[in-house]
Structure 1
Amino acid sequence: MSSYLLVHGAWGGGWVWDDLAHRLEKAGHRVTVVDQLPSAGTEPASLGDLTADANHVRRVLNTVDEPVVLVGHSYGGMVITELADHPKVRHSVYLAAFWPRRGQSLLDVLGEGPMPNWIVPRDDGALEITDDFELARDSLCADLDRDRAREMFSRVVLQSATAFGVPSTAPDRGHPTTYMIAAQESDNCIPVAAQEAMSANANEVVRLPAAHMVQLSRPDELAEALGRI
């Protein structure tokens, strides 16, 4: 039996883990979910950055009574990297996630060039997901049926643009890591080749036949993979 702490990505919330958490708990594991990172929310003026997100997860970690498997999805990989030296973390899992080197921001990891066309900058400094449903679905969750995808997009919130520019401190790591690649080639959020490049740093690599929102489209396979850690 293991204990897991699940960290969502940009524009999301703890709800993205509902299906996975149910399966892990049914298998006898303990699950803690970060309900809402400070960098995501409905009020642009109150959105935090990467440092605020890391501090928030650190506070959650400090309330857990046992070592955890720390799972970060997408932007959540930036957050869990900040906690690489936390004594409560026994294993980190990057789920189709950004894995920066020390001094790299998410924008650095993305590289030069324009922001992906499904991300829409707002005048108030926040970022939102395009209201072009087909573009958004193709970019983030091409393997979800349209009704499920519409439900997902109805729940997304704003994301802090500032969070994407904060460089990672990437402290020295004292525990093993697993990178789980969302291996569906149609994934336009973090292309498979980019995931593979980041996964070179991991102790173990797992490939899942899914698009970016793996926890929604393949919760059974994901729960099984996490259960092996």
Structure 2
Amino acid sequence: MMNRRTFSATMVAGAAASLVASRGLAAIPVPAKARNVVLVHGLFADGSCWSEVIARLQAAGLNATSVQNPLTTLPEAVASAQRVLDRQDGPTVLVGHSFSGMIVTEAGVHPNVSALVYVAARAPDAGEDYTALAKTFPTPPASAGIVYDGDEGRLSETAFLRDFAGDLPEAKARILYAVQQPFQKALLTGKTMHAAWRSKPSFYAVSTEDRTINPDLERFMAKRMGAKTIELKASHLSLISHPDEITQLILKAAGQPG
């Protein structure tokens, strides 16, 4: 059973008085209405992976910005997101896919952030060893497809097409593979010092067919944070294969009508 947790509503304008979790079930604070969305990409990708979602957010009248995550070290990746958050003119939904859930968890304490959205993403607690946590669940197939050139890592083409982008048309997946951004080994050693989901309204999209992060690990993290959770029959790239559903989740986090 999880310990009872109470969060101050002063951290988020318009939030409810507290968030109380018991066995992972939580009363989620009402998020402040936001017109800004900052999106962060994970490993094996770049900022363009959010294009389908961005188009829909813009059509809904929101200001969307995709961070170009350097994928070098966690502090440098967090700093890149913080610089974008600094530029926002009011309440902002911070959205992360995959590895960038680490960035959302750390940078999400920024005062401009009104709500957090995790898309098949890591969601560690403060100081938690995510690698150790992940090892308590069966290893997903994509892990075997990571190849290194010295300290630079990337996903093999076979693993990318099968285990990362498995529900996308092959032609589309090959284009995404061609633009994947390599990451540095040092990135994987970082630990978050803060857990923004302890004080901000949180939302999570689980990919039930995920072969990059174990779906049960995703469910565990979503439940632990008391997130408003949806499940999509999708690969790890639900933001591309299910952009409508991901956009709707972000709109809810922004307090906007769906």
- Scaled by the length of structure 2, the TM-score of the pair is 0.78
Q: Supply the AA of the counterpart residue of 2:153.
A: L
The residue aligned with 1:38 is 70
Q: CA deviation at 1:8?
A: 0.5
Match for 1:13: what amino acid?
A: D
CA distance in structure 1 between the partners assigned to 2:105 and 2:214 by the alignment: 20
Aligned to 1:221: 245
Q: How far apart in 2 are the matches of 1:218 and 1:72?
A: 15
TM superposition shift of 1:105: 4.0
1:98–1:109: 8 Å Cα contact kept in structure 2? no
Out of 86, 103, 127, the residue aligned to residue 110 of structure 2 is 86
Which of 211, 214, 218 matches 1:188? Answer: 211
Q: Secondary structure at the match of 1:116?
A: helix
Question: Are 1:197 and 2:220 an aligned pair?
Answer: yes
Shift of 1:111: 2.3
Percent identical pairs in the alignment equals: 27
Give the 4+ runs in structure 1 shifted more than 6 A.
Answer: 112-115
Partner Cα distance (1:190, 1:2) in 2 = 30
Give the CA deviation at 1:155.
Answer: 0.7
Q: Distance in 1 between matches of 2:114 and 2:132?
A: 28
Contact 2:124 2:195 (C-alpha < 8 Å) held by counterparts: no
Counterpart of 1:178 (choices 166, 187, 203) is: 203
The DSSP-based 3-state class of the residue aligned with 1:10 is: coil
Give the match for residue 4 of structure 1.
37
Post-superposition offset of 1:121: 2.3
Unaligned runs of 5+ in 2: 1-33, 254-258
Check the 8 A contact 2:45/2:176 in 1, yes or no: no
Assess if the C-alpha contact under 8 Å between 1:100 and 1:170 holds in 2.
no
2:152 pairs, out of 122, 126, 146, with: 126
Give how far 1:175 is off: 1.6
- What are the superposed Cα offsets for residues 138-170 of structure 1, whole Å, 9 maximum, x if unpaired? 211111011111111011021111111112112
Deviations 1:17-53 (A, max 9, x none): 111100111121221111x2122xxxxxxxx200111
Native 8 Å contact 1:74 1:98 kept in 2:
yes
Comparing 108-117 with 12-21, greater Cα deviation is found at 108-117
Residue 171 of structure 1: CA displacement? Answer: 4.4
The whole-number CA distance in structure 2 between the counterparts of 1:165 and 1:111 is 15
Opposite residue 77 of structure 2, the aligned amino acid is D
CA distance in 1 between counterparts of 2:78 and 2:87 reads 15
CA contact (8 A) 2:120 2:218 kept: yes
Equivalent position SS for 1:175: coil
1:45 matched to which residue of 2? none
Q: What does residue 12 of structure 2 align with?
A: none
Instruction: Supply the distance in 1 between the matched residues of 2:231 and 2:178 (Cα, whole angstroms).
Output: 28
Alpha-carbon distance in 2 for matches of 1:137, 1:116: 13
Moved more, 58-67 or 114-123: 114-123
What's the counterpart of residue 80 of structure 2?
56
| Structure 1 residues 175 and 25: alpha-carbon distance in aligned structure 2, compared to 1, 3 A threshold | same
TM-score by length of 1: 0.87
SS of the equivalent of 2:39 reads strand
Instruction: Tell me if the contact between 1:106 and 1:166 (Cα under 8 Å) persists in the aligned partners.
Output: no
Q: Residues of 1 paired with 2:57 and 2:195: CA distance?
A: 29
Whichever residue aligns with residue 192 of structure 1, its letter is P
